[in-house]
Structure 1
Amino acid sequence: MSKVILITGGSSGIGKSVGNFLTKKGYTVFGTSRFPEKYPQSNFPIIRMDVTKPNSVTEAVASVIEKAGRLDVLINNAGVGITGPIEELPDSEIQKNFETNFFGPIRVIKAVLPVMREQQAGLIINVTSIAGYMGLPYRGIYSASKGALELLTEAFRMEISNFNIAMTNVAPGDFATNIASGRYHAPVLENSPYKQAYGNTLKLMDTHVNQGKDPLEMAKAIYKIINTPKPKVHYKVGEFMQKFSVVLKRVLPDKVYEKLLMNHYKL
Structure 2
Amino acid sequence: MSKVVLITGASSGIGKAIAYYLAERGYIVYGTSRTPKMAKDGKVHMIPLDVTEAASISQAIQTILKDQNRIDYVINNAGMGITGPLEETPDHEIKRVFETNYFGPLEVIKAVLPIMRSQRSGMIINVTSIAGYMGLPYRGIYSATKGALGITTEAYRMELKEFNIKMTTVAPGDFATNIAAGRYHAPILDNSPYKKNYGNTLQLMDEHVDAGMDTQIMAKVVHRIMESKNPKVHYRVGFFMQKFSIVLKRMLPDTWYEKLLLNHYKL
TM-score (norm: length of structure 1): 0.99
State the identity %: 64
- Tell me what 2:226 maps to: 226
- Tell me what 1:143 maps to: 143
How many Å apart are 1:40 and its aligned residue?
4.1
Distance 1:26 1:40 in 2: 16
Distance 1:220 1:187 in 2: 37
Number of aligned residue pairs = 266
How many Å apart are 1:41 and its aligned residue?
2.9
- Tell me what 1:200 maps to: 200
Distance 1:40 1:222 in 2: 21
Distance 2:130 2:39 in 1: 32
Q: Secondary structure at the match of 2:2?
A: coil
The answer to whether residue 25 in structure 2 is matched with residue 25 in structure 1 is yes
- Tell me what 2:164 maps to: 164
Distance 1:137 1:213 in 2: 22
How many Å apart are 1:39 and its aligned residue?
4.1
Contact 1:11–1:39 at 8 Å: present in 2 too? no
Contact 1:172–1:238 at 8 Å: present in 2 too? yes
- Tell me what 1:10 maps to: 10
Distance 2:257 2:109 in 1: 34
Distance 1:266 1:104 in 2: 34
Partner AA of 1:18 in structure 2: I
Partner AA of 1:129 in structure 2: S
Partner AA of 1:106 in structure 2: L
List structure 1 segments (4+ residues) > 4 angstroms apart after TM superposition.
none
Give unmatched runs, 5+ long, in structure 1.
none
Give unmatched runs, 5+ long, in structure 2.
none
Q: Deviations over 1:62-111 (max 9, x none)?
A: 11111111100000000000000010000000000000000000000000
Q: Which moved more, 1:139-148 or 1:55-64?
A: 55-64
TM-score (norm: length of structure 2): 0.99
Distance 1:40 1:147 in 2: 33
How many Å apart are 1:183 and its aligned residue?
0.6
Q: Secondary structure at the match of 2:6?
A: strand
Q: Secondary structure at the match of 1:160?
A: helix
- Tell me what 2:44 maps to: 44
- Tell me what 1:124 maps to: 124
Distance 2:35 2:62 in 1: 18
- Tell me what 1:174 maps to: 174
How many Å apart are 1:209 and its aligned residue?
0.3
Q: Secondary structure at the match of 1:176?
A: coil
